[in-house]
Every structure is written in structure tokens, then in C-alpha cells.
Chain A
Amino acid sequence: MFDTIKKNFTIVLFCGINSIYKIYQEIPMKVLIVDDSMIMRRAIEGYLKDFDIEIIGTAGDGKTALALFKEKEPDIVTMDITMPEMDGLTCIKEMLAHKKETKIMVVTALSDEGTALEALKLGAAGFLAKPFNEQMLKEKFEKMIGA
């Protein structure tokens, strides 16, 4: 009798884990797009539509981005640096202090090595300098989510 209970428990446990794993597999990654330029937000959103992701929101400044981040807890963030209210580097620091496993890809016109190094030092997972085109963004994004 004990063996039967143990066997059934194992099956239930296995099915449970399997279901959770299946659900986990089917949930698309949540993405937040942060840029003070509306055209950039729209372009990034459009370029990423082929990926199996859910855009949970966009923000035009660091403060709004941080509030949205804490509310929705996205898995991935694309982050501009020069923005009103709160700059991107401060925003990265705050976001990773809240949820350190978030992957943040910096997308900025500040193409100098210093900015890139600072962002990576803070914990950014990728860096893309503007100007960019659809293919460049997709490649960087794919590389980042695959890492």
C-alpha cells in the first residue's frame, strides 16, 4: 500500500512539474522599451514583433520606466541613456537592484567606449549604438536572449 501511494505521489509530482515546465515554456518573455524618442520606441517595438515576446509597455523617461518596471517586472529591457527625469545608467542600476536577473540591452547614440563600459559594468547584458537598422537590432537582441 505504501508503494502504491509513493508511486501515485511520484506520478502527480512528475505531472505537476511537467505542467509547470510546459506553462513556463509557453509564457513569452516580457519586454519593456525605454527611449525618450517616440520614433525609436515605435521602431524597436516594430522590429521585435517577430520574436516570441510580449511588449508590456514603453516609457519615455527613466522615472516612468522604473515605475513600470517595478509594476510589471519584465524579463528584458531595451534602455536609452540620455533621457529626462532619470538617465538610463541610473535606471539600469535601480532596475537590477530590484530584479537582478533582468536582461538590459542599452540602445543609445552615445557610442563611446566609456558609456558602453559603464553600462556593462552596471550589469547591462548588451549594447547597441545608434544609428541602427532592423537587422542590427534583431541580431543584438537574439544574441542577448540566447546568452
Chain B
Amino acid sequence: MTEQEVSVFTGIIENYFEEFTGKKAVVDKPYIKEEEKIILSCTGLIGISGKRKGTIYITAHREMLVDIAKVFLKTDELDDEIVLDMIGELANTIAGNAKQHFGSDFLISIPSIIDGAPNDIRIKLELPVYVIPFFWKGQKAFVVVGIE
């Protein structure tokens, strides 16, 4: 994956939060992941197949997801299932929007959700893996992209 392709995802993240919540996310400088583990309390994963192969995931703290869901649903009454669903929908939208730039052969799976941040988890990604940190309402999250 090229650096130019990484910038596609930064644009998608900014647009997502602006359209969805009315408040733009601040995207930090993307970097290449080394050995460190990038996983927060909720994670949504999308498998990529077709012309390109790999995985895209977004990982965030539950508090951020609660805040996004509150804005979207205009309610404070949120159960745990809805909050977890939010991370899956985030992953789905970010990967789905990327199709516009990568072409119709960029096929995305339905999202898988990881609840919690287990120490021994290993997510297989195609190298190099790019980490895109971003902030929304002062809360930090990451989009991690590893596609060949």
C-alpha cells in the first residue's frame, strides 16, 4: 500500500465524523506499525478480498462509541449491544467508502467485532501496516490498515 493510498483513509475518517456527527475528527500523522499492539476496548474488523487482500480495523474506547451513538440516535438510552454494533458500523463504513477509491474489485466482508483488548490477540495484516491515529471530542482511536 502506498502513502497516497493511506491518505484516502485519512479523508474518509474526517468526512465520516463530520457527516455523521457534525464534528470533524482530527487525524494525526499516519505511521508504519512495528511491534506495538494497537488495540483498545472495542474493535471492528473488515476483511478485504478481490484485487487487494488484507484487513482494515478500527479500534476505540467504549466511551467514544457511546458518544457517537448518542449523537446518531439522539438518545442517552444505549445498551451494550448497540455500542458494540457502533464499532462494526464504523469499520464497515470506512472500508466501504474506500471502495470508491480502490475500485469495484475491492471487496469487503461483513464486520467482525472484538469486545475487550485481550493480550494474546494477533490480527493478521498484510505488511506494511499503517496506523492512522485520530481524535474526536478529545478521545483517541485508531484505524489500522494492512492491505497488499
Contacts and interface: CB of A to CB of B under 8 A. Distances in A.
A40 B69 CA distance: 10
A132 B21 CA distance: 9
Contacts of B93: 109, 130-131
Nearest to B79: A38
Interface of B: 15-16, 19-20, 22, 69, 72-74, 81-82, 85-86, 88-89, 92-97, 99-100, 103-104, 108-110
B12 to A, nearest CB: 9
B100 to A, nearest CB: 4
B11 to A, nearest CB: 12
A50 B82 CA distance: 23
Mostly, the B contact residues are helix
12 contacts: A38-B81, A38-B82, A46-B74, A82-B108, A108-B96, A111-B100, A112-B100, A130-B92, A131-B20, A133-B19, A133-B20, A134-B74
B96 A110 contact: yes
Interface in A116-147: 129-134, 136
Contact of B89 (A39, A84, A113): A39
Given A42-B73, A109-B96, A111-B100, 19 more contacts: A39-B82, A39-B86, A42-B82, A43-B72, A43-B73, A46-B73, A82-B92, A109-B92, A109-B93, A109-B94, A111-B97, A112-B100, A112-B103, A114-B104, A115-B99, A130-B92, A130-B93, A131-B19, A132-B20
Interface in A1-58: 36-40, 42-43, 46
Interface of A: 36-40, 42-43, 46, 82-84, 108-115, 129-134, 136
B110 A36 contact: yes
Contacts of A114: 103-104
Nearest to A117: B104
Contacts of B104: 112, 114-115
Nearest to B107: A82
Contacts of A133: 19-20, 22
Given A46-B74, A133-B20, A133-B22, A37 B88 contact: yes
A131 B86 CA distance: 12
A82 B72 contact: no
A110 B92 CA distance: 9
Contacts of A43: 72-73
Contacts of B81: 38
A134 B75 CA distance: 14
Contacts of A84: 110
B2 to A, nearest CB: 19
Given A39-B73, A42-B82, A43-B73, A111 B20 contact: no
